[in-house]
Amino acid sequence: MTRTTVSDALAQRIASLRWDELLATLDHQGFAQTPLLLSARECSALAALYDSGGCRRTVVMGRHRFGEDVRYPATLRAFLERCHRAGQTRPTPLMLRYGAGDWNALHQDLYGELAFPFQAVTVLERPGRDFRGGEFVLLEQRPRAQSRAHVAPLRRGGFLIFTTRQRPVRGGRGFYRSAMRHGVSTVTEGRRTTLGIIFHDAA
């Protein structure tokens, strides 16, 4: 199967998702889990890319000021052109490899003034079989209220779509901004490789 054929097949799988339901869940809680989009073979092939040395392995998780509200273009290409005009030209999809004892602190993937409101992640090994621990954690920081933690189980080949920075939440006095951060709990056993898709480019 050629690369173009694989890309077309994946595009069809993505297009066939029940986007109305996913968007409603995203609006309600700030994250949503897709059905499986990648096969076990595709996950293994992607995980092998990490070992080939062709992927970017380290990320500087710098914090940036909020900036101004953004109206997003209709296409990803147009949004990336806007990123490039702002000096954000480095692609941001990444692969992370965790072994026993590894974890990831709560953070936001912000690499410049422009950030896309959502990003996605999948795990390329089998939770509970190839590794233990390493749960994906989301922390919602609500104004004038206690922070709320969510543990979102990742499924091999299924993507978790989640809030990059802040999401609107309706309160008693209208909408307010609820900041979201994400991280990974300690891997206790095995190997955990994840593919992260961040739609804005980095400065």
Strands 166-171 and 118-123: unpaired
In the structure, what pLDDT confidence band is assigned to residue 176 with cuts at 50, 70 and 90?
confident
Within its chain, how far is the Cα of 154 from the centroid?
Answer: 11
In the structure, what pLDDT confidence band is assigned to residue 2 with cuts at 50, 70 and 90?
low
Domains of the chain: 18-198 (2.60.120.620)
**SS3 of 26, please?**
helix
Residue given tokens 């309706």 in the structure block: 170
38 against 8, higher pLDDT? 38
Strands 192-198 and 94-98: antiparallel
- What is the chain's mean pLDDT, rounded? 88
Q: Residue 171: what pLDDT?
A: 79
Return d(Cα 32, Cα 52) in angstroms, integer: 31
Q: Residue 114: what pLDDT?
A: 94
Are 34 and 161 in contact by the 8 Å Cβ rule? The answer is yes
Query: Range with the lowest mean pLDDT among 90-99, 134-143, 169-178?
Result: 169-178
Return d(Cα 35, Cα 75) in angstroms, integer: 23
Return d(Cα 152, Cα 10) in angstroms, integer: 23
Tens digits of residue pLDDT in 132-162: 999 999 999 987 788 999 999 999 999 999 9
Tens digits of residue pLDDT in 32-79: 999 999 999 999 999 998 888 665 543 322 233 333 466 899 999 999
This prediction has a pTM of 0.87
Q: Residue 68: what pLDDT?
A: 40
Single-letter amino acid code for the residue at 99: G
In the structure, what pLDDT confidence band is assigned to residue 181 with cuts at 50, 70 and 90?
very high
Single-letter amino acid code for the residue at 77: R
Q: Residue 101: what pLDDT?
A: 95
DSSP 63-124: --------PPPSSHHHHHHHHHHTT--B---EEEEE-TT--EEEE----SS---SEEEEEES
Percent of the residues in the chain that have a pLDDT greater than 70, as a whole number: 88
CB-based contacts of 37, cutoff 8 Å, min separation 6: 10, 13, 14, 122, 157, 158, 159
Give, for 158, the enclosing helix (H) or strand (E). Answer: strand 158-163
Are 141 and 104 in contact by the 8 Å Cβ rule? The answer is no
Q: Residue 61: what pLDDT?
A: 27
Average pLDDT of the residues in 79-94: 95
